[in-house]
Amino acid sequence: MARSARRVALVLCGVVLTVLVLLQLTSRSALPCTTNPGGRTSGVPLKEVRMAGVGPVDRNMPLIFIGGVPRSGTTLARAMLDAHPIVRCGEETRVLDSAISSFMLEVIVGHGEPAQRLCNKDPFTIKSATYLHQLFPRAKFVFMVRDGRATVHSIISRQVTITGFDLTSPRQCLRRWNTVVDTMDQQCEELGDQWCLRVPYELLVLEPRRWMQRILGFLDVPWNETVLHHEKTINKPGGVSLSKVEKSSDQVVRPVNTDALTKWVGWYAEDVVRDMAQLAPMLETLGYDPEANPPNYRQLQTDRGHEFDEDQDGDEEDAEESVFRLRLVRSMCCLRPFHSVCCLRLVRSVCCLRPVQSALRLRPVRWVLRLRLVRSMCCLRPVHQCAVSVRSSRCSVSIQYARCSVSAWSARCAASVRSRIKAINAKIK
C-alpha cells in the first residue's frame, strides 16, 4: 500500500510539474522582449534568442555545467569562469528539478547577459549528469571535488541546509557526503574524460593558473588572464554577478586564497577521526589520506591525478620500465603508457587504484581486481569477480563484471599473464 501510494504521489507530482512548465512556457512566449537594468533578458522566446557570436540557442549548444557537493568550491569555479569575457555562468539557477530541456534552456539563457558560452552552476547537476548529457549532447561538466572533512565542516559551521544532512551530527554528514559524492563520481565516470572533468578544490586554490588552464582547455575556451582575478569583476557589467542566496558569495568576493584548506583540522571528535576511513571511504578513492590531519594537499594525487598532464602521449617506454594508466568508461577503457603511474577505475564494478612504490595495488570496494606491474612481470589477481582484456601497450581494456576472463598481449608479459588466466578460469568454473 505504501509503495502504491508513493507511486500515485510521484505521478501527481509529475503531472503538476508538467502543467506548471507548460504554463511557464506559454506565459513567457506571450511577453514582449525586454531587458532589465541588470542585463537579464525576460520574456524572450527561446527560438528567438541569439547569443553573442553564436547564433540561435538550442540543445546542441556546448553548455557548461558546474556541480559537486555543496561547499566543494562550485561557486569559486563558476566565479573564475564567469570572469572570462566569453563565458557567462550567472547566479545559481536551481533549474534541475524542471527536468525539461527547453524549460532549462529558457531559464539559463534568461539568467544573465548574452555570451558565447553559457554556463550553469548548480551543485547537484552532477548527480544527473548522464541524463543532462542526453538532453544537451555537447554539454561539458566540471565536477568539483573537495576533502569531505572540509566540506562537512563547512556545511555544519555555516549551517547550510541540504536534504539528507543532519547538521547536528558530523558522523552522519560524513556518511551522507560519501554517498552523494560516490553517486556523482560514478556519473562523471560514465560520461568519460571527454565530457566530465574532475577538479580538486585544493589544487585549484593552490595552483589556480595551472588548473584554470586545464579547465579552459577542457572546455575549448581560449585562455584569458581575467579568470585569475575574478574579484575585480564582481557585480560589474560583463563580470561576475553574485546572489544573496548563494552561501559562498561573501567568500568569492576575495581573491583566490588557501584560508579554508585546513579549518577543519582539530574540529572533529576523536572517535570520528578514528573511524574516518570507514565513515567516508570515498576520501581515499578521491586521493585524500583519511589518516592525515592535516594532509599535504600539494602532494594530493587522485586516481585521475595525472589525467591532465600534457605529455600523456609521449614516446612508448621499454616494457621493463612501463607502467600503464588505465582509464575506464562503462565497460571500456584506454591503456596508455605514462611514466610510473597507473590509474584504474571500474565503473559499476568499482575498483580504484593507488600507486605503491614499484608495484600497483588495486584497493577493493565491491568487485575488485588486483594489478601488479613489477619490471617485465605482469601479475593479475582477481578478488571476487572481474574481467580485464589488455591488448598491447596502447590499446583498449574491456571490463565485464560478474565473470572473470582475463587476457593480455604484450611481448614480455604474455606468458606470465596467460598462465594466470588458466588458473583464474579454472577456479571460477
Where, residue-wise, is CATH 3.40.50.300 in the chain? 17-252
Rg from Cα positions in the chain: 24
- Per-residue DSSP letter, 124: G
pLDDT number for residue 232: 80
Enzyme catalytic residues: 92
Mean pLDDT of 249-262: 81
Measuring CA to CA, which residue among 344, 336, 347 is closest to residue 360?
344
Query: Strand, helix or coil at 260?
Result: coil
Question: Cα(163)–Cα(66) distance, rounded to whole angstroms?
Answer: 20
Question: Alpha-carbon distance 248 to 293, whole Å?
Answer: 25
Helix H or strand E segment including 389 = strand 388-391
**Class in CATH terms, 17-252:** alpha beta
- Which percentage of the chain shows pLDDT scores above 90? 26
Query: Using alpha carbons only, what angle is made at residue 207 by residues 203 and 208, rounded to the nearest 5 degrees?
Result: 100
| DSSP 8-class letter at 345 | B
Asked whether residue 4 carries a pLDDT value surpassing 80, the answer given is no
Q: Tell me: the pLDDT tens digits for 158-203?
A: 999 898 999 999 999 999 999 999 999 999 999 999 999 999 999 9
Over residues 98-146, the pLDDT tens digits come to 445 555 566 555 555 656 787 887 878 889 899 889 888 899 999 999 9
Confidence of residue 424 (pLDDT cuts 50, 70, 90): low
Phi and psi at residue 154, to the nearest 5°: -70, -45
* Grid cell listed for 150: 572540509
Write the pLDDT tens digit of every residue in 51-72.
Answer: 445 555 566 778 888 878 887 7
Q: Please count the residues of the chain.
A: 429
- What percent of the chain is modeled with pLDDT above 70? 46
Determine phi and psi for 320, rounding to 5 degrees: -65, -30
240 — pLDDT class (breaks 50, 70, 90): low
**Which SS3 state, helix, strand or coil, does residue 118 take?**
strand
Please compute the mean of the pLDDT values over residues 416-425 and round it to a whole number: 58
Helix axis angle for 74-82 and 208-219, nearest 10°, is 70
Per DSSP, the three-state class of 85 is coil
For the whole model, what pTM was predicted?
0.55
| Winning range, highest mean pLDDT, from 168-177, 325-334, 383-392, 401-410 | 168-177
